[in-house]
Amino acid sequence: MAAPGERSVAAGRDIGQVATGDFVTQVERATVLPAEALALGPVTEAVRYLPERTAQFVGRERELLLLDEAFDNPGGVVVHALHGLGGVGKSTLAAHWAVGRTAALNPVWWITAGSRAHLEAGLADLGRDR
């Protein structure tokens, strides 16, 4: 059994301890899944959840272009934060940008991060099969 990649772990049937070089993990009970269980198939449905934004949106072309540039690197994971004083339109800008890119991006999912509970609930909703 091969373990491709730095600090990868390969295991057959019975695992007692797993050592990656940085730490050792004691495994009390493990289920070894066949490779096909881990394969991801093509995404056939759009995964979408965006808030309804009824406010008029005018301007902000520079900010929209900056968001486009931040997300232009295909194949990578992008985390981008909008910051500023409350009430200046950060959420409206983000929602407007996301709505305009739903045809090209998947998933597009709105998660409110005002509290840990909201963040966890949003991530859980994303993980549910809809």
Pick from 92, 97, 91: nearest CA to 65: 97
Tell me how far apart the alpha carbons of residues 94 and 55 are, in angstroms, rounded to a whole number: 13
In tens, the pLDDT along 49-86 reads 888 876 678 788 898 898 888 888 766 666 778 888 98
In tens, the pLDDT along 86-124 reads 888 888 888 888 888 888 777 888 888 888 899 889 888
The answer, as to whether pTM is greater than 0.85, is no
Pick from 114, 125, 115, 120: nearest CA to 50: 125
How would you class 67 by CB atoms within 10 Å of its CB: exposed for 0-12, middle for 13-18, buried for 19 or more? buried
